[in-house]
Amino acid sequence: ELAVDMERRADGTMLVRPCQALEAYPRSIIDRLDHWAATAPDRPVLADRGPEGNWRHCSYGEARAQSRAIAQYLLDLGLSAERPVVILSGNGIEHALLALGCMTAGIPFAPVSPAYSLVSKDHAKLKHIFSLLTPGLVFAAEGAPFAGALDAVMQPDMRLVVAREPAPGHASTPFAEMLAAQPTEAVDRANAAVGGDTVAKFLFTSGSTGMPKAVINTQSMICCNQVMIATALAFLRDEPPVMVDWLPWNHTAGGNHNIGIAIHNGGTLYIDDGAPTPAGIARTVRNLEEIAPTLYFNVPKGYEMLSEHLTTNDRLRETFFSRVKLLQYAGAGLAQHVWDALERLARETIGEKVMIITGYGSTETAPFAFTTTWPVARPGEVGL
């Protein structure tokens, strides 16, 4: 039970404080990776659709070993907060391994919106980010699509790493070379030096009111967040969570909240290569036909599009509702007809409703973008 104390002030402000003290949280999210690598080394932590379109899996044991190799490679380059890592491409196993390698070594990284490279014509925001960070290493899973952006920002002292498709006109290091590095005691020393105030990453605001601003995310922010979530959503401790998720890792919802839930609780995140668009929803449906999540996150438009497919696709509906315990949305209000459809479809499929909650706050900057109402507020109702 999440008991709270509520204080009502004369100006109408209501302050709500939990009665339960927050449990101790890890020094670093890498401590949780190490824990699960020791206790469940063969369990997948991540899966994505590889270049051939089939699921690729990365276990906890593999993720730990490969992130330590990457950490050694980064340390050998002499990277630091003054020369961090910039990740240009979107969600993927290589992206995650590089991020974990950075955090193992205590070297900040910045996942940047791919739109700044692939959609922008003048690359102004990307140039601004590079001028702020002065990166020492730049990563793109597929180099060729980013060639134009690389032309605009790469400098001679920056190392370019690609997993596939080298970018024309740019010398690059294969991602496999990072994985081939042999970890030494330097990795252990660097990891031991990581503390709660160590900068894990720089997340950038959207730049909708100007140029993007770098927001520091520390290890304490990330780890405290995960203990808060596991306290509020106690079912996460009953079994390893499974998620099918597309939310971009250059935002805190996808890159801290969701992937953090998987790693902190020993779960698996299946990276959804779809999106809430007419073309992308078909890929999301395909993934959800194959993988049954235990909790699910999306934006209201995504739920609206998904509910239409759930209504007509028996396989999707039966798989999706088979073990899901929570549906969470954020970014806008959930339309009443969509909420009603999700409740009706759940009752028809499994005989009961599924909890629906909302998350508030900026999905770009805040290290914690989770808020719940108890009882859960319906659309149009006011919750605490």
Whether residue 376 has pLDDT greater than 70: no
At residue 368 the predicted structure's pLDDT band, cuts being 50, 70 and 90, is very low
- 190 and 104 Cβ atoms separated by less than 8 Å: yes
pLDDT > 90 fraction of the chain, expressed in percent and rounded: 87
At residue 3 the predicted structure's pLDDT band, cuts being 50, 70 and 90, is confident
Whether residue 373 has pLDDT greater than 50: no
How do residues 317-336 score in pLDDT, each as one tens digit?
999 999 999 999 988 899 99
pLDDT computed for residue 76 by the predictor: 98
Whether residue 140 has pLDDT greater than 80: yes
How far apart CA 72 and CA 160 sit, in angstroms, is 17
How do residues 16-45 score in pLDDT, each as one tens digit?
888 888 899 999 999 999 999 999 999 999
Over residues 285-304, the mean pLDDT reads: 97
- 5 and 16 Cβ atoms separated by less than 8 Å: yes
How do residues 234-246 score in pLDDT, each as one tens digit?
999 999 999 999 9
How far apart CA 330 and CA 47 sit, in angstroms, is 24
pLDDT computed for residue 207 by the predictor: 79
At residue 372 the predicted structure's pLDDT band, cuts being 50, 70 and 90, is very low
Average pLDDT, the chain: 92
pLDDT computed for residue 384 by the predictor: 25
CB atoms near residue 258 (< 10 Å): 23
Residue with the two structure tokens 């970018």: 167
Q: Where are the alpha helices (DSSP H) in the chain?
A: 29-39, 60-76, 93-105, 115-118, 124-133, 147-153, 175-179, 185-192, 219-232, 252, 259-264, 280-290, 300-312, 314-321, 336-350
Whether residue 371 has pLDDT greater than 70: no
Backbone angles phi, psi at 162, to 5 degrees: -130, 150
Whether residue 1 has pLDDT greater than 90: no
- 94 and 175 Cβ atoms separated by less than 8 Å: yes
H or E stretch including 271? strand 268-271
- Residues with Cβ within 8 Å of 204's Cβ and at least 6 positions away in sequence, in order, are 110, 112, 113, 129, 212, 213, 214, 215, 250, 364
Backbone angles phi, psi at 140, to 5 degrees: -140, 130
pLDDT computed for residue 306 by the predictor: 98
Q: Is the pTM of this model over 0.85?
A: yes
Centroid of chain to Cα 5: 32
How far apart CA 253 and CA 265 sit, in angstroms, is 17
How far apart CA 217 and CA 27 sit, in angstroms, is 14
